[in-house]
Amino acid sequence: MTETSETASSSESPATPTQAGYAVTSADNSTAPPTPSYPPDSSGNRAAWVGGVLLVVVLVALLIAFIGALRHWFALHTGTLHGGPDVYYNFWSGFGSDLGEATLISAVCVGVYTGMRKVNCHTKGCWRIGHHALEGTPYILCRHHHPDVPNHGATHEHILAEHHKFKLGEAAEKNA
């Protein structure tokens, strides 16, 4: 009886793949670090790198081969090919005049995004404005995610009761 229990406990269970791509044995998953299913020096990773480098080389070669046609197309469509009194007159009168507007629009968008990230609820994915600090943490939350703020609005009686509790606590601290 002891032999069968020892052999059953000594045999390791087969490795099971996880979502992260690691093979972990269920018998010894807490002591040993997980082994990657594709080690860094495997031929699969090397083939991907070689393929990526070859793709970049081919793209650079095509860009060099067709640079004249690309320059002509870009000059024609931005207005620098057939200029007026100056070579760049058509560029700044047409396509180039939109660069200032694009800069202003980009600056406003970045400002709005930055402002929203600063004042919005710190819950991931929530775009509501956060007005309520969560005690003991640096987080500011909206009324939907804060545990102490009622979600459906507070009644006048509830507000007065909370204020009364605060006053009682303040008086207890003063007397203590």
Contact 16, 2 (CB under 8 A): no
Residue with tokens 């057939």: 82
**What are 108-153's pLDDT values in tens digits?**
999 998 887 778 888 888 878 888 888 888 888 888 888 887 777 7
Query: Is the pLDDT assigned to residue 29 strictly greater than 80?
Result: no
**What are 158-172's pLDDT values in tens digits?**
888 889 999 999 999
10-18: which pairs have CB atoms within 8 A and are 24 or more residues apart? none
Tell me the pTM: 0.36
pLDDT of the residue at 5: 47
